Amino acid sequence: MKTTICYSFFIFSIFLLINGCIYETSRIALVPPKSEQVSNWEKILNGSQKVKLITINTGQVRVPISGMLNMDDPKTNVLKDEEINVEVFSHLIQHPTQGNFLIDAGLNSSFQQGNQGDLKGWIASNFVKDSFQKPAQNIAAQINSLGVKLKGIFFTHLHSDHTPGLTELPKGLDFYVGQKEYKTDFPLLTYNEHFEGVKKLIELDFTNAPTIEPLGNVINIFGDGSVWAIATPGHSAGHVSYLVNSSDGWKLLAGDVSHTRWGLENNVEPGWVDDRDQAKISLQKLIKFNRLYPQITIFPGHQY
């Protein structure tokens, strides 16, 4: 009897892992028109259309450094394998004609309670050890204080530290995700309810997007050269970075291609990755691009 119960639980767990790890809603594709084909960064970086970019710190989470950096890389031998606090950002883009958009959703107010905020599951604490957030530091409070009406959110990816703000931001926003990006949920083990009620995602389709080296496939989001989406898979299947022509100069928001500035400066990809070889390629592309165009300020995902 005991053996049967254990075997049944094992089969049930495997079923959950296979069927519960991919979050799907209906998707429509945002496909760049052929008229937007461009051939070189020099022309793009001379573009005149600028947007206002505000980086919002929504709190901190305490995580293993082995998740932030690949500790098997010999360059990390100078570091201790320990827990570190990292910021969780959301970036507000204010376009003069297109409206207001976030890049990533930031943390909601549940993280003021510490621990794992609203992240659930038996092993959630393996990823987020603790959290630290001041009163009114959550994304909704800060957006409200700015008096901003949002139109949508562009996600770098759908990991659970980039999506909590959805639960307290206005309903009816447009959500943009990278091609083949999925939300990893493992029922009972680690999961969240950030996308509850969300019925549609807009997928950034890089299939026919122009290829401009060294970054590769890019999408001219608003068609005016002010914001570019860059396919940077590896940390997640459909990870996207964003290049923004802000009023303070060009900014490259790397997302979790590199969680930390140390990883960016030392060419060490994250420890937590979907595809390690691809993660290394994406990081090397951003580093090469930054060396070619040092006037661009590049920001890793969790250290501004």
Q: What is the pLDDT of residue 36?
A: 62
- The angle formed by the CA atoms of residues 282, 236 and 75, to the nearest 5 degrees, is 50
Architecture category of domain 2-300 in CATH: 4-Layer Sandwich (3.60)
Report the b/e string of 232-253 with b at 16+ CB within 10 A. bbbbbbbbbbbbbbbeeebbbb
CA 213/CA 281 separation, integer angstroms: 13
In 3-51, at which residue ranges do the beta strands (DSSP E only) sit? 26-30
Q: What is the pLDDT of residue 39?
A: 74
Q: What is the pLDDT of residue 8?
A: 38
Distances (CA, A) of 104 to 80, 261, 293: 30, 19, 25
What are the sequence ranges of the domains in the chain?
A: 2-300
Per-residue pLDDT of the chain (304 residues; tens, 9 = 90+): 434 334 333 333 443 444 444 456 788 888 777 656 677 899 999 999 999 999 999 999 999 999 999 999 999 999 999 999 999 999 999 999 999 999 999 999 999 999 999 999 999 999 999 999 999 999 999 999 999 999 999 999 999 999 999 999 999 999 999 999 998 788 899 999 999 989 899 999 999 898 999 999 999 999 999 999 999 999 999 999 999 999 999 999 999 999 999 999 999 999 999 999 999 999 999 999 999 999 999 999 998 7
- The answer to whether the bond into 214 is cis (omega within 30° of 0) is yes
Strand partners, 242: 229, 253
Which is nearest to 150 in space by CA: 193, 82, 98, 111?
Answer: 98
Q: What is the pLDDT of residue 4?
A: 38
Q: What is the pLDDT of residue 24?
A: 61
Instruction: Give the global pTM.
Output: 0.91
Q: What is the pLDDT of residue 167?
A: 97
Q: Are 143 and 104 in contact (CB under 8 A)?
A: no
